Amino acid sequence: MIPLRVKIDPFPISEPLVVRLQNNGSLGEGTANAILRGPDFVEYDVCGMSLTVRTTEPDSLDGDVVMILPGQRSLHRLIRNGSSHNTFLVTEQCDQKCVMCSQPPKKHHVDLFEPFFEAALLAPFNATIGISGGEPTLHKSRLFEFLLRVQAGRPDIEFHILTNGQHFDEDDASALQSLDRTRVLWGVPCYSASPEIHDDIVAKRGAFEVLERNLALLGRNGHRIELRTVVLNSNASGLADLSLYATTHHPHIAFWAIMQLEPIGYGRQNWGREFFDSSRIFDPIAAGIDIASIRGLETVLYNFPLCTVPEQYRRFCANSISDWKQKYLPTCGVCSAINRCTGFFEWYPEGRGFSSVGAL
């Protein structure tokens, strides 16, 4: 697994610091240039101060935009150079407790929008930055301010924002319309066309009703939506109904992401009850895809290893697992499709996972 935090020697700062690490030459303002390298460290010049990073692979950090917080003995790799999987975790607070949540909510919140803004300005040209939580729109005014500032300073950057869709209202129309809607994609989960099943999965009464209203609100204001559905034992049989619902009531949705369960957080805790073995039974997923395809809704399968999907549906699979938490099994080494396969999550439980995997 690719580390997102790297050890550093104590560094005397009182405010968060964001810099881009540069091993050869200088990229100008905001850059920390390497001045000394050893077998297990690299030293950078940061405004005349020495930052020592403890690593045996300094080249892997070259060009990364990192954040250092006061008193911490590690840096956070916010934007990894050359990676398409860069996400800002803007809060760990959330008002839902989804049974499959990979990032269980916490009560506290640390506002890091300002260092995230500084990092976005240092991002590579045409970068896509994910915004995640917790629930980012619990801090909606700060989120909108952040997005508008970045789009003013770096109009080339695109955002993929994950939200449960519970906190929009009509007063947000002005802010939503002020954004460059061609460069914002909202990833909004909907787990069932049944309000009761959806509400049970997210552990919040009335969530489906609010979600339905706010999907329409985003659509009226011209925003692109990625509908996200994690396949579970509790909702798999209703995927065809969800496909019909989405295409009938929300034709403005850009595409539908059907996702396999991530075995971490609440997903690990509820794995035995909720993991749906798509390598054994794929018919409910196929039914949802078929209806969406007929009705013109682009559909993508996320987190599905190719060998767990029938051949005729593999064209819908995307290499979607973030590279920092992706792994392959020993049998994958001789697979002809490894370069286009999502692989498995780092914490995938082989003994309790798919009943059928193997090289293609």
Chain segment 42-87, per-residue pLDDT in tens:
999 998 999 999 999 999 999 999 999 999 999 999 999 989 899 9
> Across the strands, what pairs with 113?
none
Which burial class, exposed, middle or buried, applies to 44 when counting CB atoms under 10 A from its CB (0-12, 13-18, 19+)? buried
CB-CB contact of 27 with 20 (8 Å): yes
Mean per-residue pLDDT for 221-230?
A: 98
Q: Which amino acid is at 234?
A: S
Backbone angles phi, psi at 9, to 5 degrees: -75, 160
> Across the strands, what pairs with 188?
227
Q: Residue-wise over 214-233: b if at least 16 C-beta within 10 A, else e?
A: bbebbbebebbbbbbbbbbe
Query: According to the model, what pLDDT value does residue 131 have?
Result: 98
Closest C-alpha to 161, from 108, 103, 219, 224: 224
Query: According to the model, what pLDDT value does residue 29 have?
Result: 82
| pTM given for the model | 0.95
Query: According to the model, what pLDDT value does residue 13 have?
Result: 95
278-318, pLDDT tens digit by residue?
999 999 999 999 999 999 999 999 999 999 999 999 999 99
Alpha carbons 359 and 232: distance in angstroms, whole number: 25
Closest C-alpha to 20, from 36, 6, 31: 31
- Joined tokens for residue 6: 């790297």
Query: According to the model, what pLDDT value does residue 47 have?
Result: 87
Alpha carbons 235 and 270: distance in angstroms, whole number: 14
Domains of the chain as residue ranges with CATH = 5-78 (no CATH), 87-352 (3.20.20.70)
146-156, pLDDT tens digit by residue?
999 999 999 99
Angle CA 25–323–9, to nearest 5: 50
Residue 27 pLDDT > 90:
no
pLDDT tier, 35 (very low <50, low <70, confident <90, very high otherwise): very high
Query: According to the model, what pLDDT value does residue 255 have?
Result: 96
295-305, pLDDT tens digit by residue?
999 999 999 99
Query: According to the model, what pLDDT value does residue 199 have?
Result: 98
Q: Where do runs of H (alpha helix) occur along 73-160? A: 113-121, 140-153
Non-local CB neighbours of 163 within 8 Å, separated by 6+ positions: 135, 136, 137, 186, 187, 188
